[in-house]
C-alpha cells in the first residue's frame, strides 16, 4: 500500500509556511489600520496563532475527505 504524503508533519509545515506569508501581509495591513507598532505586533501575533491552529485542523479534516483523491 502506498503511503499518503499528507502526514501530520507535512500539515504543520504547510501551515507554518502559509502563516509566515499571511502574517507578513496581515502585519502590514494591521500597521496601516492601527498606525501603532505595538498594536500591530500584538494583533499579528494573535492572528498567527489562531490561524495556524485553524489551518492545521482544516488540513487534517480535508485529509479524511476522499473528494479529489485518486
Q: Which three cell numbers stand for residue 43?
A: 494583533
pLDDT tier for residue 27 given thresholds of 50, 70 and 90: confident
SS3 53: helix
Cβ–Cβ under 8 Å, residues 40 and 27: yes
Q: Give the mean pLDDT of 32-52.
A: 88
Q: Give the mean pLDDT of 47-57.
A: 88
Q: Give the global pTM.
A: 0.63
**Percent of the chain residues topping a pLDDT of 70:** 91
SS3 69: coil
Q: Give the mean pLDDT of 48-60.
A: 88
Cβ–Cβ under 8 Å, residues 50 and 26: no
Amino acid at each position: 500500500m502506498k503511503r499518503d504524503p499528507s502526514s501530520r508533519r507535512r500539515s504543520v509545515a504547510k501551515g507554518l509556511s502559509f502563516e509566515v506569508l499571511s502574517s507578513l501581509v496581515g502585519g502590514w495591513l494591521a500597521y496601516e489600520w492601527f498606525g501603532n507598532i505595538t498594536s500591530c505586533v500584538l494583533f499579528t501575533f494573535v492572528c498567527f496563532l489562531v490561524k495556524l491552529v485553524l489551518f492545521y485542523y482544516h488540513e487534517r479534516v480535508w485529509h479524511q475527505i476522499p473528494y479529489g483523491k485518486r
